[in-house]
Amino acid sequence: MDPESQQYLTVNQCIEQIAQKLEVANLHYGHGAIDSQSEALWIVSKQLDLSPADALDHLDEIATQEQIEKSLAVAQERISSRKPLAYILGEAWLMGVPFFCSEQSIVPRSWIAELIVDGSLEPWLPADGKALDLCTGNGSLAVLLALSCPDIHVSACDISLPALSVAARNVDRHGLSSQVELLDGDLWDALPEPNEDNLFDLIICNPPYVNATSMNALPAEYHAEPELALAGGDDGMDLIRKIIAQAPDYLSERGAILIEIGNEYENFKKAFPQIPAIWMEVSAGEEQVLLIQAEDLR
């Protein structure tokens, strides 16, 4: 792109040119954007200091020389590094909510977020209820829970201290320090011993669940993320076995646990044929997220 033509690009033209550059670079998407067009929008919106959604209202405005050059530089780094765009920008969006993002944790993304925001989980979230985000990572799901249900208390735990530092920034960013409690430890070890006063009405969990074969085949963008947050063992169920084994101890009588398993539906069914899971409908289908009621675990 020559300097003269850059001076007169609209925001939309800038997005289109960057999308074309990304399109021919054989990148992999799935870290907050579904294709080259949505990543290009994300890149340019960041330079406009707008959310990607809000940037759509400014498509006909003229982009400044600086905005164009910075957008091009980000696109080039995305192409040359093969890192998720969220790491390059230091920010990700989930359900329209911004989150600080760094390579200390995986990029915020989860189908559970859809269920939080659309109200599907409210039957298990009574007023003054308690929720747990197990394997919280960057803290995005805990933050969305707290924002969606301001009258509940949210605990969130992770084995990774670097990830929890990212989560702490996101909790602070959204002013939720009094509602969201962060705990470090390996799964249930992060929590106090269960008793009738500290049980949870809802536990949500987006654990490491990628099976070994799939881990080996992941594109470069996923290998930029912490392996600890992705790898689930030979069949993807290593941590999920531990989670389900002890979940009954931490659930209230009418509580439930919600677990994302991604593409591991067949492996889950094989590992837990006796569990009457309720499969939740999300945009990716009905085999990615399951809910198990406490009474079906006891």
pLDDT band per the 50, 70, 90 thresholds, residue 6: very low
For residues 82-97, average pLDDT: 96
Would you state the structure tokens that stand for residue 279, as one six-digit string? 């499969």
Neighbouring residues of 275: CB distance < 8 A, sequence distance ≥ 6: 244, 292, 296, 297
pLDDT band per the 50, 70, 90 thresholds, residue 68: very high
Residue ranges of domains in the chain, CATH in brackets: 3-85 (no CATH), 92-296 (3.40.50.150)
For residues 256-265, average pLDDT: 96
β-pairing verdict for 130-134 and 200-205: parallel
3-state secondary structure of 179: coil
Locate the DSSP E strands across 14-128: 91-94, 97-100
Angstrom distance (rounded) from CA 289 to CA 283: 11
Would you state the structure tokens that stand for residue 157, as one six-digit string? 């735990």
Q: Which residues of 235-265 are buried (b: 16+ CB within 10 A; e: fewer)?
A: bbbbbbeebbeebbebbbeebbbbbbbbebe
Q: What is the pLDDT of residue 4?
A: 45
pLDDT digits (tens, 9 = 90+) for 164-205: 999 999 999 999 999 999 999 999 999 999 988 889 999 999
Would you state the structure tokens that stand for residue 291, as one six-digit string? 């809910």
pLDDT digits (tens, 9 = 90+) for 113-169: 999 999 999 999 999 999 999 999 999 999 999 999 999 999 999 999 999 999 999
Q: What is the pLDDT of residue 7?
A: 61
pTM of the model: 0.94
Contacts 24+ apart (CB under 8 A), 149-154: 149/122, 149/125, 150/179, 151/127, 152/125, 152/127, 152/128, 152/179, 152/201, 153/128, 153/129, 153/179, 153/181, 154/130, 154/179, 154/180, 154/181
pLDDT band per the 50, 70, 90 thresholds, residue 298: confident
Average pLDDT score, the chain: 95
Angstrom distance (rounded) from CA 42 to CA 33: 8
pLDDT above 70 (res 74):
yes
Q: What is the pLDDT of residue 5?
A: 46
Phi, psi angles (nearest 5°) of residue 293:
-80, 145
